[in-house]
């Protein structure tokens, strides 16, 4: 069995917007969500910038009792999912519960709860850890909360493959529907790892961007000669995926068709990216979508702004697309929303889907000094409108070498 899979709902809570419309509008405007960290531990950081969701108020969405059992990364996921379900006007009949599921991605899950617990245990003579610490911090908490809220009795899986976690969640959800195991899936990712411990660990890895002396929002510079690394972020994105026939029958709004996906491993190095593995993943995704390289009208790049990563991705795009690589607009929206780790694949795929819907390409901001080794059309600084495109691609290339590529195209019944 092979069925078509469509996207009928979008929801997002991000550093540059808390709705799909606000998110994409700010991307097109080149608005950065990267700022100085305002946490009480900021003075203990060497690098004090991050892409934070500062205006998210949990009390506006959850009762005090609910908040005792729902960690920040789950809160973000629940709010994003509520947007997506409402956007899709999705109502499941009780007979459909077992044909609907949820796949989510996250790297650290309830990082805040874990850190609070460790501080309590290792700094106090008589530690009193929160009774619900295990349930708050487990990586699958967000997906489980979504399953319970929406009565999703089908597959419920959380993926943790570093930067590609939510892209793989989307791709595997697509396969569930495509091959007949489910009719509806909520899929995406959530991350809230901006804790002292996590940020100090990333500092130690020496992959974080240095703060731009003139503007913290200009610190992430993908594909630029003077790039210095990635900027950590937080947020969540959830999409409603649906069997096309079901969506049409109920008169659903359809954003696009999720038409192609592949995941594979570089199988070479735990941190160093490999263009050969990325190329293989891109070509396999194109094959799955039954598209040619020239059919892709926009690529949302992984584009972390690390020295090796941006060069290897440029090589992979050239290897996969040949001479057409120079004709495709490619941008890294991480320059604005930062790197949301386990959530970033879903956030960036949503940006690509909205680009297809609006026929508009968001820019790579802070790209003023072009790296000669990154010589593709990286849409520097200004978004583009009236860009004719029928298909878009989103790349997610993770630590550990787990690559994922997603392709969406215009839906034609």
The catalytically annotated residue of 107, 220, 263, 339 is 339
Question: Does the pLDDT at position 105 exceed 90?
Answer: yes
pLDDT digits (tens, 9 = 90+) for 228-264: 999 999 999 999 999 999 999 999 999 999 999 999 9
Q: Has domain 263-409 been given CATH number 3.40.47.10?
A: yes
Q: Annotate 299-366 with DSSP letters as a single string.
A: EE------HHHHHHHHHHHHHHHGGGGGGS-EE-THHHH-B-GGGHHHHHHHHHHHHHHHT-B--BTT
Q: What is the mean pLDDT of residues 76-104?
A: 98
The catalytically annotated residue of 107, 163, 263, 374 is 163
- CA 234/CA 54 separation, integer angstroms: 10
Q: List the structure tokens of 235.
A: 């947020």
Under a CB-based contact definition with an 8 Å cutoff, are residues 75 and 238 in contact?
no
The helix (run of H) or strand (run of E) holding residue 67 is helix 64-67
Three-state secondary-structure class, residue 247? helix
pLDDT at 1: 76
Q: List the structure tokens of 413.
A: 């019944």
Question: What is the reported pTM?
Answer: 0.98
Question: Does the pLDDT at position 324 exceed 90?
Answer: yes
pLDDT at 150: 98
Helix runs in 164-294, H state only? 165-178, 196-205, 244-249, 275-289
Which among 120, 338, 92 has a CA at the least distance from the CA of 230?
338
pLDDT at 194: 98
The catalytically annotated residue of 145, 302, 337, 374 is 302
- CA 308/CA 301 separation, integer angstroms: 14
pLDDT digits (tens, 9 = 90+) for 284-299: 999 999 999 999 999 9
Average pLDDT, rounded, for the chain: 98
Which among 324, 275, 280, 276 has a CA at the least distance from the CA of 298?
324
Question: Does the pLDDT at position 402 exceed 80?
Answer: yes
Under a CB-based contact definition with an 8 Å cutoff, are residues 317 and 368 in contact?
no
Mapping DSSP onto H, E and C, the string for 151-199 reads CCCCCEEEECCHHHHHHHHHHHHHHHHHCCCCCEEEEEEEECCCCHHHH
pLDDT at 297: 98
pLDDT at 380: 98
pLDDT digits (tens, 9 = 90+) for 154-212: 999 999 999 999 999 999 999 999 999 999 999 999 999 999 999 999 999 999 999 99
- Where exactly are the structural domains of the chain? 5-249, 263-409
Is residue 358 among the annotated active site residues? no
Strands 391-397 and 298-300: parallel
CB proximity list for 205: less than 8 A, separation 6 or greater: none
Is residue 337 among the annotated active site residues? no
- CA 104/CA 151 separation, integer angstroms: 16
The CATH number for 5-249, chosen from 3.90.1200.10, 3.40.640.10, 3.30.70.940, 3.40.47.10, is 3.40.47.10
Q: What is the mean pLDDT of residues 48-56?
A: 96
Locus of tokens 């996906």: 261
Q: Do domains 5-249 and 263-409 have the same CATH topology?
A: yes
Strand partners, 397: 403
Which among 306, 307, 331 has a CA at the least distance from the CA of 317?
331
pLDDT at 328: 98
Three-state secondary-structure class, residue 28? helix
What is the rounded radius of gyration, in angstroms, for the C-alpha atoms of the chain?
Answer: 20
Which among 297, 262, 198 has a CA at the least distance from the CA of 395?
262
Is residue 370 among the annotated active site residues? no
Three-state secondary-structure class, residue 106? coil
């Amino acid at each position: 069995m092979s069925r078509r899979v469509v996207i009928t709902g979008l929801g997002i809570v991000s550093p540059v917007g808390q709705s799909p419309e606000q998110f994409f509008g700010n991307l097109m405007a080149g608005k950065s969500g990267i700022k100085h960290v305002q946490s009480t531990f900021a003075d203990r950081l060497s690098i004090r910038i991050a892409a934070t969701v500062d205006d998210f108020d949990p009390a506006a969405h959850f009762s005090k009792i609910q908040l005792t059992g729902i960690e920040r990364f789950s809160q973000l996921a629940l709010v994003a999912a509520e947007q997506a379900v409402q956007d899709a006007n999705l109502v499941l009949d009780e007979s459909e519960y077992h044909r609907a599921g949820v796949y989510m991605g996250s790297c650290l899950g309830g990082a805040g709860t874990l850190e609070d617990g460790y501080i309590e245990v290792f700094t106090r003579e008589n530690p009193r850890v929160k009774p619900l610490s295990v349930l708050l911090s487990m990586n699958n908490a967000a997906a489980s909360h979504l399953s319970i809220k929406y009565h999703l009795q089908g597959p419920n899986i959380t993926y943790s493959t570093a930067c590609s976690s939510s892209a793989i969640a989307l791709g595997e959800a697509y396969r569930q529907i495509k091959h007949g195991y489910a009719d509806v899936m909520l899929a995406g990712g959530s991350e809230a790892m901006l804790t002292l411990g996590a940020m100090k660990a990333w500092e130690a890895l020496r992959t974080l961007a240095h703060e731009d002396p003139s503007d913290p929002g200009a610190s992430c510079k993908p594909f630029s000669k003077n790039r210095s690394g990635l900027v950590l972020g937080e947020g969540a994105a959830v999409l409603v995926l649906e069997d096309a026939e079901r969506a049409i029958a109920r008169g659903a709004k359809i954003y696009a068709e999720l038409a192609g996906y592949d995941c594979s491993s570089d199988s070479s190095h735990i941190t160093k990216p490999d263009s050969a593995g990325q190329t293989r993943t891109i070509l396999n995704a194109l094959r799955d979508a039954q598209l040619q390289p020239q059919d892709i009208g926009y690529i949302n790049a992984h584009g972390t702004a690390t020295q090796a990563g941006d060069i290897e991705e440029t090589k992979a795009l050239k290897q996969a697309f040949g001479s057409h690589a120079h004709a495709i607009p490619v941008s890294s929206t991480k320059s604005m929303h930062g790197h949301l780790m386990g959530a970033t694949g879903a956030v960036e795929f949503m940006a690509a889907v909205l680009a297809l819907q609006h026929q508009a390409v968001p820019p790579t901001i802070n790209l003023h000094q072009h790296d000669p080794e990154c010589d593709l059309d990286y849409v520097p600084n200004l978004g583009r409108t009236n860009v004719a495109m029928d298909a878009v691609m989103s790349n997610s290339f993770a630590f550990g070498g787990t690559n994922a590529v997603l392709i969406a195209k215009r839906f034609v019944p």
